[in-house]
Structure 1
Amino acid sequence: MLRSTFMIAFCCYALALPAQVSISSNHRYLLHNGKPFFWLGDTAWELFHRLNREQASQYLQHRAGQGFTVIQAVILAEFDGLHTPNANGDLPLLHDDPTRPNEAYFRHVDYIIDKADSLGLVIGLLPTWGDKVWKSTWGKGPEIFTPQNAKVYGQWLGKRYRTRKNIVWILGGDRTPQNEQQLTIWRQMAAGIQEGVGAACAVITFHTQPNALGSAEWFHNDAWLSFNMFQNGHCRNTPVYNKIQAAYNLTPAKPVLDGEPIYEDHPVCFNANDLGTSSAYDVRKYAYLDLFAGAFGHTYGCHDIWQFYSPAHEAVNNPHVPWQQAMDLPGAKQMQYVRRLMEANPVTERVPDQSLIAENNLTPAERIQATRGSDYLYVYTASGLPFTVVLGKISGSRLQGGWYNPRNGAFKRIEQLENQGQQKFTPPGTGYGQDWILVLQDAAREMKL
Structure 2
Amino acid sequence: MKIYLALACLLVPAWLKAQMPQIQVSENQRFLMTEDGKPFFWTADTAWELFHKLDEKEAETYFQKRASQGFNVIQAVALAELDGINTPNAKGEKPFRNLSKMKPNPQYFKYVMQLIEKAGEHGLYVALLPTWGDKLFKNSWGTGPEIFNTENAYEYGKWLGLWFRSTPNIIWVLGGDRNPREGSDDVEVWRAMAKGLKEGLGLFKTGVFTFHPQPHSPGGSSDWFQADEWLSFNMHQTGHCPDELSYPKIQHDYNLSSVKPVLDGEPLYEDHPICFKAKENGYSLPSQIRRIMYSNVMVGACGQTYGCHDVWQMYKAGETGVNGPLRPWEKALDLPMANQMKYLKNLMLSRPYFDRIPDQGLLDGEQVKDKQYVSASRDGAGTYAFIYFPQGQTKNVDTHALAAARLRVWWYDPRTGASFLKGELQNYGSFSAVPPSSGEGNDWVLVIDDAAKGYPAPGTVAY
TM-score bracket for the superposition, by shorter chain length: over 0.9
**Partners of 2:366 and 2:294 in 1: how far apart?**
15
Matches within 5 A, 1:201-220: 201-212=206-217, 213-220=219-226
Query: 1:318 maps to which residue?
Result: 324
Which residue of 2 is the match for residue 192 of structure 1?
A: 196
- Do 2:80 and 2:132's aligned partners in 1 also have CA atoms closer than 8 Å? yes
CA distance in 2 between counterparts of 1:311 and 1:103 reads 31
Match for residue 409 of structure 1? 417
User: 1-side partners of 2:416 and 2:286: how far apart?
Assistant: 12
- Aligned pair 1:183/2:187, yes or no? yes
1:338 counterpart residue number: 344
Query: 1:128-176 CA distances to partner (integer Å, 9 max, x unpaired)?
Result: 0000001122211010001011011111111111111111101110001
Superposed, 1:228-243 pairs within 5 Å as 228-243=234-249
Contact 1:262 1:301 in 2 (8 A): yes
Specify the alignment match of 1:125 in structure 2. Answer: 128
Question: 1:72-151, aligned counterparts within 5 Å?
Answer: 72-97=75-100, 99-151=102-154
The amino acid of 1:377's aligned partner reads: A
In the alignment, what sits opposite 2:175? 172
Q: 1:22 aligns with which of 19, 24, 28?
A: 24
Task: Return 97-106 or 35-44, whichever deviates more.
Answer: 97-106
The one-letter amino acid paired with 2:193 is M
Q: How high is the sequence identity, in percent, across the aligned residues?
A: 47
Provide closer, same or farther for how the CA distance between residues 248 and 89 of structure 1 changes in structure 2, counting only shifts above 3 A: same
Contact 1:357/1:388, CA 8 A, preserved across alignment = yes
Question: Cα offset for 1:400?
Answer: 0.6
> 1:433 maps to what in 2?
441
Q: State how far apart, in whole Å, the 2-side matches of 1:98 and 1:257 are.
A: 36
Whether the 8 Å contact between 2:264 and 2:301 is mirrored in structure 1 is: yes
Find the residue that maps to 2:202 and give its secondary structure.
helix
| Inter-partner Cα distance in structure 2 for 1:157 and 1:208 | 21
- Shift in Å at residue 272 of structure 1? 1.1
Q: Distance in 2 between matches of 1:271 and 1:359?
A: 37
> Which consecutive unaligned segments of at least 5 residues does structure 1 have?
1-17
Distance 2:34 2:366 in 1: 34
Give the CA deviation at 1:360.
Answer: 4.9
- Aligned in 2, Cα 1:176/1:27: closer, same or farther, shift over 3 Å? same
The question of whether the paired residues in 1 share the 8 Å contact of 2:250 and 2:300 is answered with yes
C-alpha deviation, 1:264, in angstroms: 0.5
Q: TM-score, normalised by structure 1?
A: 0.94
- Alpha-carbon spacing, 1:313–1:103, altered in 2? closer, same or farther (3 Å): farther
> Is 1:354–1:360's contact at 8 Å kept on the other side of the alignment?
no
Question: Structure 1 residue 359: deviation in Å?
Answer: 4.7
Note if contact 1:193-1:202 (Cα within 8 Å) is conserved in structure 2: no
In structure 2, the residue corresponding to 1:365 is in which secondary structure?
A: coil
Shift of 1:354: 0.7
Deviation at 1:32, TM superposition (A): 1.6
* Amino acid of the structure 2 residue aligned with 1:239: L
Q: What does the per-residue CA deviation read over 1:4-58, in whole Å, with 9 as the maximum and x for residues that have no partner?
A: xxxxxxxxxxxxxx92111100001111232210100000000000000110011
CA contact (8 A) 2:317 2:327 kept: no
Cα displacement (A) at 1:98 = 7.2
Q: 2:166 aligns with which of 155, 163, 166?
A: 163
Q: Report how far residue 311 of structure 1 moved.
A: 2.4
Query: Which amino acid counterpart does residue 118 of structure 2 have in structure 1?
Result: K
> Aligned letter for 1:29?
F
> Which structure 1 residue ranges, 4+ long, deviate > 4 Å from structure 2?
none
Which residue does 2:11 correspond to in 1?
Answer: none
Query: Separation in 2 of the partners of 1:88 and 1:288?
Result: 39
CA distance in 1, matches of 2:114, 2:260: 32
In structure 2, distance between residues paired with 1:117 and 1:64: 10
Counterpart Cα distance in 1 of 2:424 and 2:52: 54
For the Cα contact (< 8 Å) 1:45–1:306, is it kept in 2? yes
Q: How does 1:356-375 map to 2 (within 5 A)?
A: 356-373=362-379, 374=381, 375=383
For 1:374-413, list aligned pairs within 5 A: 374=381, 375-413=383-421
Per the alignment, do residues 353 and 334 of structure 1 end up closer, same or farther by CA in structure 2, a change over 3 Å counting?
Answer: same
Distance in 1, Cα, partners of 2:377 & 2:395: 14
1:292 is aligned with what amino acid?
A: M
Aligned partner of 1:329 in structure 2 is: 335
1:46 pairs with 46, 49, 60, which one? 49
Superposed, 1:245-284 pairs within 5 Å as: 245-284=251-290
Distance in 1, matches of 2:25 and 2:78, equals 24
**2-structure distance, mates of 1:363, 1:182:** 34
Alpha-carbon deviations, 1:231-275, whole Å to 9, x = none?
Answer: 011001322111100101112100001000000010001111111
Distance 2:88 2:260 in 1: 38
Q: Alpha carbon RMSD of aligned pairs, Å?
A: 1.3
Deviates more, 1:337-346 or 1:65-74: 337-346
2:59 pairs, out of 41, 56, 59, with: 56
State which drifts further: 70-79 or 341-350.
341-350
1:70 to 68, 73, 98: 73
SS across alignment from 2:78 = strand
Contact 2:269 2:308 in 1 (8 A): yes
CA distance in 2, matches of 1:158, 1:84: 24
Q: Which moved more, 1:153-162 or 1:309-318?
A: 309-318
Aligned length: 432
Post-superposition offset of 1:95: 2.9
Aligned counterparts, 1:295-310, within 5 A: 295-310=301-316
Between the aligned partners of 1:215 and 1:363, the Cα distance in structure 2 is 23
Change (3 A) 1:353 1:120: same
Secondary structure in structure 2 of the residue aligned to 1:175: coil
Matched AA of 2:81: E
- Name the SS of the counterpart of 1:281 in structure 2: helix
Structure 2: runs of 5+ lacking an equivalent: 1-19, 459-463
